Amino acid sequence: MMNVSAGTLRRRPAQRRSLERVERMLDECARLLDEVGYDGLTTKEVARRAGVPIGTFYQFFPDKQGLVRALALRNLDGFLDRLTIRLGSAEITDWTDAVHLAVDEFVAMKRTTPGFAIVDFGEILFSPGGPALKGTNRLLDAALENNVIVADRLRALTIDLLGAPRGPGLDRALVVAVEAADAVLKLAFRLHPDGDPDLIAECKNLVRRYLADHLPER
């Protein structure tokens, strides 16, 4: 179940039935993104496949971009939940070891999670490797780029679970690391539908070495 952020939905579902309807609409949105892409996605078809009246759709979402924004936030919550479980069960000797787990989880979601190849954490892609729909780099928040929000969520996770050092150095390093990983992984999925394994490995090495150079050892 998604953790609905303030301002994501027009109306926060208060009852279980309403929450289940919202989840069904997000599920069908994800499936349709894989089938027809963002351009082919319609609110009418999402509502039909989710088995809800179109009026119910608009009770919760202003338009299809609002629907996709909610899906991206659910994806981010799901990724962080999965990563938290992996980090909790892994024997991390250096907190930069978390890079490998984070990349592995992201790649796994690209390969298996419906709709994630087109919309992962906000940016809407025409294909798994891009290019992106113009203007969607700030889909999650009009004031901040998507990758800044992702980096901030990862910062909280690394501080809470791994004891990473607080401060502007960590903030800046994580933004750079997320931007670099995003670019290399897009390239990996442009070259191979499941992600080029050599480029995925290069992404892990690049980000880990960068963080090791810019942040103190755990």
Q: Which domain holds residue 173?
A: 16-214
Global pTM? 0.90
How would residue 216 be classed by pLDDT, with cut points 50, 70 and 90? low
How would residue 146 be classed by pLDDT, with cut points 50, 70 and 90? very high
Q: What is the spatial distance between Cα 124 and Cα 140, in angstroms, rounded to a whole number?
A: 11
| 107 domain-assigned | yes
| 7 domain-assigned | no
Q: For the segment 49-88, what is each residue's pLDDT rounded down to a tens digit?
A: 999 999 999 999 999 999 999 999 999 999 999 999 988 8
| 8 domain-assigned | no
- Helix residue spans in the chain (DSSP H): 16-40, 43-50, 54-60, 64-89, 98-112, 146-162, 168-191, 197-214
- Mean pLDDT estimate for the chain: 89
| 43 domain-assigned | yes
| 2 domain-assigned | no
Q: Which of 174, 120, 167 is nearest to 152 (CA)?
A: 174
Number of domain units in the chain: 1
CATH of residue 71's domain is: 1.10.357.10
pLDDT at 5: 41
Q: What is the spatial distance between Cα 202 and Cα 208, in angstroms, rounded to a whole number?
A: 10
Asked whether the predicted pLDDT for residue 137 surpasses 80, the reply is yes
| 4 domain-assigned | no
| 9 domain-assigned | no
- In contact, 104 and 62? CB cutoff 8 Å: no
| 166 domain-assigned | yes
